[in-house]
Amino acid sequence: MSVALGLTRPLVVRTTLVGDPGDLLARLPEAAPYAWIRRGEGLVAWGEAARVAVPPGPGRFDWARRWLSAILGEAHVDDGVGVPGSGPVAFGSFTFDPDAHGSVLVVPQVVLARRGGRAWLTTVGDEHLDLVTPPADPGRIRYGDGSLTAPEWEHAVALAVRQIRSGRLEKAVLARDLTAVAERPIDVRLLLSRLASRYPECYTFSCAGLVGATPELLVRRTGETIESLVLAGTVSRGTSQADDDARGAGLFASEKDRYEHTCAVESVREALAPLCAELTVPTEPELLVLPNVQHLASPVTGRLADGASVLDVVAAMHPTAAVGGTPTHTALDVIRELEGMDRAGYAGPVGWIDARGDGEWGIALRCAQIEGPRARLFAGCGIMGDSDPAAELAEAQAKLRVMQYALEG
């Protein structure tokens, strides 16, 4: 089986407790780093013990789960820690569109992790501690239009509003992209450090060139317990405390934003209910305040009924109404008609899974795809029947500033 999977022999995996490594991101070598960090805890990784391009199609998550089961099931594992994220771990990034190419799973050679006061190191095969060099600054950044100019994107929003008012659908999430070109190759580690420092409440991630800091936890599985954080409804931060408070109160009272949030919560409820023996969904959202925006947020918890892995839950949940729309199939058709671009990994699931099926996956928001000195930045907005194109453009620009800050410092 290992040969069929592209391996000459089963993986040999060893996990041991280590002393506090300090700043996890500072331990990453330059080459192709992987990361999942929040409030200084999580996992960083490097090297590739196994990698696969996940075939596109409606069964891609099931295919990925079977591939991982075969790879990790044959591995010789010495795990002296035995917690979520110890033993062999795979990082993954899936495209937003199930029919698009670009989904990937990687089992790194080295994983360094810290959670709950304990730290551990996992190695696959021989010790592979690469030389750590200081992150390099990319130099001057030049920005350009992505698939659509700002006026063209506003026109797309207006067309979506027209279709919503006609009754074709209730909500569509339209994404916008920008291109960026640096003087020198972009060091992903610099972006990760800036994002983790400025947005500690977000999940700072890196997988196969996709880098960002997402506020949206799609799902965390720890044994039978799952957690999800639903975000929908956004307003920019104010220029003063009073302005900020007023904006938050306005968001909370906004009929448009509350309805958009309700649609997103209901889509998560419908996806999780068949998998859960218990499911707790708040009746009222709360405000999540980030450095650049405020969101309506609803934390959802549940207990799995049949021991499904975290990837099974991801498969059931993606795409949520928060990144697609309502109803889903119609919204996806409208997205394909109006966005004029391939989202690639933007708004797709990104995260990690271990051999027990535990893991954490977020929705790849506030992110960019990095390749050498080039970056493609993404942001999206939920469009409703009373959406104003100019206001939606301003919201998208506020979200794009997250990655612009990461690039420029």
CA distance 280 to 273: 10
What is the maximal distance between C-alpha atoms in the chain? 63
Query: What kind and span of H or E run contains 268?
Result: helix 255-272
Number of CB atoms found within 10 A of residue 140's CB: 10
CA distance 60 to 176: 26
Q: Which residues contact 168 (CB under 8 A, 6 or more apart)?
A: 330, 334
Q: Which residues contact 161 (CB under 8 A, 6 or more apart)?
A: 383, 384, 385, 386, 387, 389
Catalytic site residue from 74, 127, 171, 360: 171
| Residue 55 DSSP symbol | P
Q: Which of 335, 333, 354 is nearest to 346 (CA)?
A: 335
The angle, 0 to 180 degrees and rounded to 10, between the axes of the packed helices 310-317 and 60-73 is 170
Q: Which residues contact 320 (CB under 8 A, 6 or more apart)?
A: 218, 230, 264, 267, 268, 271, 363
- Residue 181 — left, alpha, or beta (φ > 0 → left; ψ -120 to 50 → alpha)? beta
Place of tokens 């891609």: 60
- Contact between residue 238 and residue 245 where contact means Cβ atoms under 8 Å apart: yes
Number of CB atoms found within 10 A of residue 388's CB: 14
Active site residue 399: no
- Contact between residue 210 and residue 369 where contact means Cβ atoms under 8 Å apart: yes
Per-residue tokens: 31: 């080459």
CA angle 226, 380, 90 (to 5 degrees): 40
Catalytic site residue from 30, 170, 183, 216: 216
The angle, 0 to 180 degrees and rounded to 10, between the axes of the packed helices 389-408 and 150-165 is 140
- Contact between residue 177 and residue 185 where contact means Cβ atoms under 8 Å apart: no
The three-class DSSP label of residue 272 is helix
Active site residue 154: no
- Contact between residue 334 and residue 163 where contact means Cβ atoms under 8 Å apart: yes
Active-site amino acid positions: 171, 216
